[in-house]
Chains A and B, each alone.
Chain A
């Protein structure tokens, strides 16, 4: 398990979701082991001792958004509710503890909350997340909380402005120091059409890694596929986009076998996009500014409440269509295929971006970069 702790410590640093030196893991085999920041590790050890789970991560996020959300929350509230579809589906809500609520036995208080949910925000200390089955699962839950707080904070700032002393300065440093320029420059793509299975699988692995390395997606959020003739080669469910070796399922277009039962939950959406658009490849990720902007709606007096699944309209972010739809067997697979063919890109409300390539992945990748950059620029334009 120590190799897993080391691996996911490095991932938290490389994906810039946690501060180096501010990360601790605890894991229970027949003995309890910890690693990382000594103070956090001690706390992590005490917390996991009170839980029936295998792994736990406690880390200081690289951005202050989780703490700021806690401080902005009204006095009587004890949790934040993610607004993006993906994390809301899996997290429901994220409990938080304010500093003064920790009392004499913070580990016990945190364990009580973590016994109910996958992740908890502890004001002034960090985000703590558990993994019932693996250390990787704790990392995924941490990433989900980080993603969710990022999206919600940006949305709240856009809607409500800065409310706290010093908040605007923190946001400015986020913009000037944390955010990085997104581009596809310097990347090498195979020129399509791709026809050989080995060639396709290698390219899917490579491009999946590109999306994470370039900061377009968090590694566990998204999926990728390529079509060659009657076969779709698609990333498996719960696969990390930067570790796709051995995690790509060949699925026949006619469903003549069910080996693809382990394929991404968006297999149906991919299949229909191929059927309707003639695409050769599909990329799907959850770049954060696109997620934020997709939920910005200026409709007045609209009777629809569950916009993320019920909105029937096609809105636009620049020239990119935005549609609603639940993940998996929900409406996404119906609403994306009709709109993606022309522009080669589409955004799903509160969820993420789909892009296609007619020959290879370069077109899809550049479109993903373009959508996120447009949304980022538009966000800051509106904020100004």
Chain B
């Protein structure tokens, strides 16, 4: 078999059993891998509670993992989010994905709940559960160090063990499976870590065609100012966006009360390089190397993290931000949700946390003690508990990242149509509304955005199933990746057929959410964005979002997707017609 292994490793933590099964080839062709495969595999389980033992936690790689396809050494983890209640997926790059594929599986499917903490150790064909009592309670660094000799590690920190609703799964190289609290799902199963090793290779059907397509991708990377430009993410990492968001006046500040933070220059890309001696770093096998680390190898914060621990909380101290980032990584906390939850809490209390108060609060969150008990539940539950529900800047309980929707109307719509809640990466309209890729669109217009968002959601669902990094598409397009996939798998795929696969995946996710009670009432922004302006100035006006126009475009989106006016499925038999 080319591209795929055709195998799934099933692990039942309750019984302690692990076994391999075949995955029907038609499912792999129809869902590719990663997000798509995970979404298909969860079909019989999606209505279980996220913490129910029956709820699977699925690690799925894609058909390009294990090949030299740029940015494709990635996997996606799929389950149901305890933070949002939606179907949830998140991808991460690194050696873990590569080794999971090399162990001979396209997916790892974990169910059940272990009576005692365990580590799942996979070494080629062998899989066993090892006692992990001595690791329980340890931070990410110590856990990874303890297991690194056995292979690549994905683990949780104290936040995941204690059920923090935005706990991450942390990969050994410093990447994270973030946002929706899948670390808490893993912790709820008593699974401290997965360590994997393997020596298998991924067969490529047509090497010459594959190499040609790879060269096409690399040429487009080099032609992209965002990727390899001298001010791009390869040089400065995603903090390259700090100055741009300041200039566009759409940097969320003080819990989105403002959209300009005067001190954002303290944590811009050039400022981090100067202050921290940032060097290039990144996912295994990735040519872009957008991550940055200190000379000692300590990962430095990305754009969302610096902006939310910075502007969103009114903190100008770079050292405090770097410290918060490192602590989140060590505790296994999502930085966006942690910072946004602190900001909502701060506004509700009438005072944002001071720089030196952040670190102790993060520790309390991970341990769920003191103020951390409430803060561990995320901003929506915090704001409701404090009697100020309007202060949670979230959609479907997922905290919004660092692009103010009043500064990019496609982004406003995409936050709401995202199947996993207020996420920028589902449709990623920042690419065209701000970064002018593949072509610019008017960021202050809703015109055409419903169709654009729908197409981008479909495309990105396919990208997340290959699994490739979104940043590749600041240069390359799905056209070149379809060629890579065709060459690798020996099956013919086109950009159009990939988008059709993406459409199937997206609709399936939406169906799951609707079946779990989500409707158009959940597809709305916080009231603040319809009622309060951002920080206008320098010739740029940031008015509140026109609610009527927003709703019109949302209804257009529903029509384009074939949904009812309530955003639901008229056809309850949708799933039965899907492969």
Contacts and interface: CB of A to CB of B under 8 A. Distances in A.
Given A265-B223, A327-B223, A258 B242 contact: yes
Nearest to A254: B270
Contacts of A27: 448
Interface string B443-466: 000011011100110110000000
A239 B244 CA distance: 17
A255 B231 contact: yes
B225 A133 contact: no
Nearest to A250: B247
A132 B438 contact: yes
A261 B497 contact: no
A6 interface: no
Interface string A253-287: 00111111111110110010000000000000000
B496 A133 contact: no
B219 A326 contact: yes
Interface residues of B, number: 59
B232 interface: yes
A134 interface: yes
B495 A115 contact: yes
A28 B451 contact: yes
A264 B436 CA distance: 10
Interface stretch (A50-58, A67-75, A358-366, A372-380): A50-58
A117 B496 CA distance: 9
B229 interface: yes
Given A92-B216, A267-B231, A30 B451 contact: yes
Nearest to B239: A258
A30 B225 contact: no
B439 A261 contact: no
B496 A118 contact: no
Nearest to A51: B496
Contacts of A262: 225-226, 244, 434-436
Given A133-B432, A261-B226, A267-B231, A89 B220 contact: yes
Contacts of B439: 131, 133-134, 136-137, 140, 238
A301 B357 CA distance: 71
Nearest to A261: B231
Interface size class of A (residues with CB under 8 A): 35 or more
Interface string A23-41: 0000111100000000000
A116 interface: yes
Contacts of A132: 438, 455, 459, 477
A328 interface: yes
Contacts of A133: 432, 438-439, 441, 452, 455-456
B494 interface: yes
A137 B438 contact: yes
A356 to B, nearest CB: 20
A257 B448 contact: no
A262 B435 CA distance: 6
A131 B439 CA distance: 9
A236 interface: yes
A115 to B, nearest CB: 3
A187 B219 CA distance: 37
A264 B223 CA distance: 10
A251 B500 contact: no
A162 B499 CA distance: 42
Interface in B384-405: none
B280 interface: no
Contacts of A134: 432, 439, 441, 448, 452
Contacts of A267: 225, 229-231
A211 interface: no
B25 interface: no
A116 B226 contact: no
Contacts of B451: 28-30, 54
B232 A29 contact: no
Interface in A224-249: 236-239
B229 A238 contact: no
Contact of B229 (A54, A257, A263): A263
Given A132-B438, A237-B436, A326-B222, A261 B229 contact: yes
23 contacts: A27-B448, A28-B451, A30-B556, A30-B560, A52-B455, A52-B458, A90-B220, A92-B479, A116-B494, A137-B439, A140-B439, A238-B440, A258-B240, A258-B243, A258-B268, A261-B240, A261-B241, A261-B435, A265-B229, A267-B225, A328-B223, A328-B228, A329-B228
Given A118-B479, A262-B226, 6 more contacts: A1-B447, A90-B220, A237-B437, A261-B241, A265-B224, A328-B224
Interface of B: 216, 219-226, 228-232, 236, 240-244, 246-247, 265, 268-270, 432, 434-441, 447-448, 450-452, 455-456, 458-459, 477, 479-480, 482, 494-497, 499-500, 503, 556-557, 559-560
The 3 closest A-B pairs by CB, nearest first: A115-B496, A329-B228, A328-B223
